Structure 1
Amino acid sequence: MQDIPDSLLNLLGQNAALIVLAVVLFMAISSAVRIVPQSQKFVIERFGRLRAVLGPGINFIVPFLDRVAHKISVLERQLPTSSQDAITADNVLVQVETSVFYRIIEPEKTVYRIRDIDAAIATTVAGIVRSEIGTMELDQVQSNRAQLITRIRESLANVVDDWGIEVTRAEILDVNLDEATRAAMLQQLNAERARRAQVTEAEGKRRAVELAADGELYAAEQQAKARRVLAEAEAYATATIADAISKNGLEAAQYQVAMKQVDALAQIAEGQGKQTLVLPASAMDAFSDAFALLKGRAS
């Protein structure tokens, strides 16, 4: 085997050095450039300490000194639906199902201040729910669910702020009761419905009585008005006759008496069956006087 010339060895040594340098430069550039996706943030450490938080886009770090310690997603997250028992102010045991949505806005706080963020939020929510429901009666829990959700969200936001988290939504999915309480509430609801039906029926009867009384009162008022009109008419007729008597004297009075007698005889004649009228002579004289008066008025 022939010996390798010194010139060739030198050339190979130079090429190897260039190759190593190229590899080192490539690795340095690769480690210095960090491309962060839009949905993430990178937490950079230098010698185990927080150095920076990289946002979306192209970022540069010091190669071989800085490293990406954590890649944190900033997308909104949903905790698994959890259920916790709580006791209301009126000592009713309820089971509340909750759901929480959140997102990480400050990764440096999240990774260095809390280990299991989901478990921490779930435990905090359970404590807040029990505390808030303990101040409310069952009816208030059922009717003021929106207000309860707002209070839970505000209390949770104050707690998780130190963890670099923003609570976007907090929902109460359901409030369940035990069977005994549910049966008691159903019985109470049926009793309330029966009471309302009785009240409605009583009000209907009372309204009917009021309407009947109003009708009778209206009829009485109309009858009174009719009597008043008739009395006024009779008074007017009496006044007219009195005036005529005062002007015409006895003749007007005799005329009125004769007309009354004629009307009475006409009513008797209109009766059913055959009737025989026996008139006294004075009646005939009255007719004669009436006719004479009529004739005199006509002339």
Structure 2
Amino acid sequence: MGEDEILNLVTGNIVYLLGAIVLIVIIVKGVRIVPQSEKHVVERFGRLHSVLGPGINFVVPLLDNVAHKISVLERQLPTASQDAITKDNVLVQVDTSVFYRIIEPEKTVYRIRDVDAAIATTVAGIVRAEIGKMDLDEVQSNRASLIATIKGSVEDAVDDWGIQVTRAEILDVNLDQATRDAMLQQLNAERERRAQVTRAEGQKRAVELQADAELYASKQIAEARRIQADAEAYATGVVAEAIARNGIEAAQYQVALKQVEALNSLGKGDGKQTIILPANMVEAFGDAFKMLKGRG
């Protein structure tokens, strides 16, 4: 084999080898494996050509270029604080945090330069606007509703950027010291008012119970007097009936009986009392004893 043949053979082998190398490079460059957590933006001649999703993808080497590798994982903005004035002119400092995902990277990379800064600015403006529509008490008590409103407003604002807002949080609502002192005084005044109302209601109830007790006592006394009057009327009726049947002697007998009972009661004393009776009382008692003896 001559030198020319050997040279031609070596040259041919080199060409084949270079061709194989170029083919391997083309194949390697034409195959793109995209991780599950990413999307790749492909440009052709400097313009958007396609977006590669997770898995194996094929591109045209030398023509197509993976210009951006975008993570589609959920992101959290750093906690931001912004001042806002409520509807009742109270200055508050609101701490917020926003979570979002990039779902259309072709919009994100070509329509906005700094996504985090843009979202933070948007959130700050929306928070100030929404809190300005509410009184301080509403901000404190309707935080869940306020968060939902802010989330919806942010979603509408960032829709053109290919972003999905997954969650918005109001971490804290801080007040200046003067406002805190004023609220504390108001709270103490409200507690004192409630205590006074409670005491007044207690006193009112006590008066009502006392009046009910006095009314009950009056009714009982009246009932006792009625019963006593009925008894006296009954006794009088019995006496009247006896007089009607037996004449004046029955009445004299009752009077004599009462006189003897009165004298008997006087005799039950402890002996130290002094009793002064009119002279004619002795004769009256004598007559009473005679009448009782005669009836016996």
Aligned to 1:95: 93
- Distance in 1 (alpha carbons) for counterparts of 2:233 and 2:82: 91
> Do the aligned partners of residues 128 and 284 (structure 1) sit closer, same or farther apart at CA in structure 2, a change above 3 Å counting?
same
Identity %: 68
Q: Which amino acid aligns with 2:207?
A: V
Aligned to 1:286: 288
- Distance in 2 (alpha carbons) for counterparts of 1:254 and 1:141: 97
- Distance in 2 (alpha carbons) for counterparts of 1:266 and 1:113: 124
Instruction: Report if aligned partners of 1:269, 1:275 keep a CA contact under 8 Å in 2.
Output: no
- Distance in 1 (alpha carbons) for counterparts of 2:2 and 2:245: 176
2:49 is paired with a residue whose SS is strand
Equivalent residue in structure 2 for 1:20, among 18, 27, 44: 18
Aligned to 1:11: 9
1:120, CA displacement in angstroms? 0.6
Aligned to 2:49: 51
> Do the aligned partners of residues 252 and 46 (structure 1) sit closer, same or farther apart at CA in structure 2, a change above 3 Å counting?
farther
* Superimposed CA distance per residue, residues 130-167 of structure 1 (whole angstroms, 9 cap, x where no aligned partner): 11122222333233322222221121111111212121
Equivalent residue in structure 2 for 1:30, among 15, 28, 31: 28
Aligned to 1:130: 128
1:280 is paired with a residue whose SS is helix
- Distance in 1 (alpha carbons) for counterparts of 2:178 and 2:26: 71
- Distance in 1 (alpha carbons) for counterparts of 2:203 and 2:274: 59
Aligned to 1:197: 195
1:75 is paired with a residue whose SS is coil
Instruction: Report if aligned partners of 1:41, 1:54 keep a CA contact under 8 Å in 2.
Output: yes
1:19 is paired with a residue whose SS is helix
Instruction: Report if aligned partners of 1:109, 1:164 keep a CA contact under 8 Å in 2.
Output: yes
Aligned to 2:267: 269
Q: Which amino acid aligns with 2:53?
A: G
- Distance in 1 (alpha carbons) for counterparts of 2:37 and 2:232: 104
1:50 is paired with a residue whose SS is strand
Aligned to 1:62: 60
Q: Which amino acid aligns with 2:282?
A: P
* Superimposed CA distance per residue, residues 171-215 of structure 1 (whole angstroms, 9 cap, x where no aligned partner): 222222333333333333333333333333333333333332232
1:121, CA displacement in angstroms? 0.6
- Distance in 1 (alpha carbons) for counterparts of 2:272 and 2:73: 116
Q: Which amino acid aligns with 1:280?
A: V
Q: Which amino acid aligns with 2:288?
A: A
Give the alignment of 1:138-157 within 5 angstroms.
138-157=136-155
1:89 is paired with a residue whose SS is coil
Which range moves more in the overlay, 89-98 or 188-197? 188-197
- Distance in 2 (alpha carbons) for counterparts of 1:45 and 1:167: 27
* Superimposed CA distance per residue, residues 15-60 of structure 1 (whole angstroms, 9 cap, x where no aligned partner): 3233223222322322333222222222223333333323322333
Q: Which amino acid aligns with 1:105?
A: I
Equivalent residue in structure 1 for 2:236, among 235, 238, 241: 238
Q: Please, which runs of 5 or more residues in structure 2 have no aligned partner?
A: none
Q: Which amino acid aligns with 2:47?
A: R
Which range moves more in the overlay, 103-112 or 138-147? 138-147
- Distance in 1 (alpha carbons) for counterparts of 2:88 and 2:113: 38
1:102, CA displacement in angstroms? 1.2
> Do the aligned partners of residues 285 and 188 (structure 1) sit closer, same or farther apart at CA in structure 2, a change above 3 Å counting?
same
Q: Which amino acid aligns with 1:100?
A: V
Instruction: Report if aligned partners of 1:44, 1:51 keep a CA contact under 8 Å in 2.
Output: yes
1:80, CA displacement in angstroms? 0.9
- Distance in 2 (alpha carbons) for counterparts of 1:215 and 1:16: 124
1:176 is paired with a residue whose SS is strand
Instruction: Report if aligned partners of 1:36, 1:58 keep a CA contact under 8 Å in 2.
Output: yes
State TM-score, norm by structure 1: 0.83
Q: Please, which runs of 5 or more residues in structure 1 have no aligned partner?
A: none
- Distance in 2 (alpha carbons) for counterparts of 1:268 and 1:4: 178
- Distance in 2 (alpha carbons) for counterparts of 1:290 and 1:125: 116
